[in-house]
């Protein structure tokens, strides 16, 4: 490959995002330009090898202007990008309020969508997008009617937005359980990520766009679940890295994970 591989990792300053960057640096054969983003855009001090270049732009995925500014800056330097790993996200369910439900959906789902919409036009044919999801995205906790809507092969971006608005309305008036929703905005946001991934993959057949659960990882977010998480961040980085750079046999639009959230494998296609 004559051109350098240009990759973006959002939320690279901690947790799984940081582990993804560190693992890519270790496994890179050079010829890689990696944008490790954070809200403040500070130098994270990653030690590079060979001719790998690390850049540290500021990015707030909940701010459309911030996303557009990054896309413009990267496009000025490169004719195309190859990989986008949408890792940045929030879990505010320890303080479950209607306001935090909106903040979660705005960041995790709408922010990821805006990233994809900004960068898909800049991606090289054969490029890859990885959306970080969660085991909490399982539809088992929803009513049958909601499961059916999420699983519709005809779901559009407009349908997905309507689902989010309906959930928000239920959170606003406290009627989640009565209408088949869990009181878990993080889980709802990740189910939306899985649906979003399928929608975008169908609309962009020249790219490989997949979602994945990294497993139960020892990060600040992972510790919110309860007892000590099962895996180190470097293990949680394995599936995202495979989907971004490894052999996936042309699969796109699917959800990947391991049979157990404690497994340290590189993932397989799973139902959610």
Q: Which residues are catalytic?
A: 186
Helices (DSSP H) in 174-256: which residue ranges?
185-203, 233-236, 238-245
The CA distance from 71 to 263, in Å, is: 35
The CA distance from 116 to 196, in Å, is: 10
The CA distance from 237 to 235, in Å, is: 5
The SS3 call for residue 166 is: helix
Distance of CA 91 to the CA centre of its chain: 13
**87 contacts 20 by C-beta, under 8 angstroms:** yes
Closest CA to 240 of 49, 67, 75, 8: 8
Burial status of residue 239 (CB atoms within 10 A of its CB: 0-12, 13-18, 19 or more): buried
**252 contacts 54 by C-beta, under 8 angstroms:** no
Residues 6+ apart with CB under 8 A from 99: none
């Amino acid at each position: 490959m004559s051109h350098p591989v240009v990759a973006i990792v959002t939320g690279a300053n901690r947790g799984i995002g940081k582990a993804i960057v560190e693992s890519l640096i270790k496994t890179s054969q050079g010829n890689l330009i990696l944008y490790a983003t954070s809200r403040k855009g500070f130098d994270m001090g990653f030690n590079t090898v060979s001719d790998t270049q690390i850049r540290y732009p500021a990015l707030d995925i909940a701010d459309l202007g911030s996303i557009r500014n990054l896309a413009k800056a990267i496009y000025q330097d490169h004719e195309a990008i190859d990989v986008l790993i949408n890792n940045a996200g929030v879990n505010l369910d320890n303080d479950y309020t209607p306001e935090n439900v909106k903040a979660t959906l705005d960041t995790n789902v709408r922010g990821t969508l805006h990233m994809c919409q900004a960068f898909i036009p800049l991606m090289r044919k054969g490029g890859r997008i990885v959306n970080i999801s969660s085991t909490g995205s399982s539809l088992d906790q929803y009513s049958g009617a909601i499961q059916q809507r999420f699983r519709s092969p005809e779901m559009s971006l407009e349908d997905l937005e309507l689902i989010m608005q309906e959930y928000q309305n239920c959170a606003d008036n406290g009627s989640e359980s009565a209408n088949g929703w869990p009181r878990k905005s993080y889980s709802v946001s990740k189910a939306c990520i899985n649906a979003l991934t399928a929608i975008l993959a169908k609309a962009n057949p020249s790219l490989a766009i997949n979602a994945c659960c990294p497993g139960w990882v020892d990060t600040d977010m992972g510790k919110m679940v309860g007892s000590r998480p099962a895996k180190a961040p470097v293990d949680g980085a394995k599936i995202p890295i495979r989907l971004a750079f490894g052999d996936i046999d042309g699969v796109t639009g699917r959800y990947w994970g391991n049979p157990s959230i404690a497994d340290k494998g590189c993932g397989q296609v799973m139902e959610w």
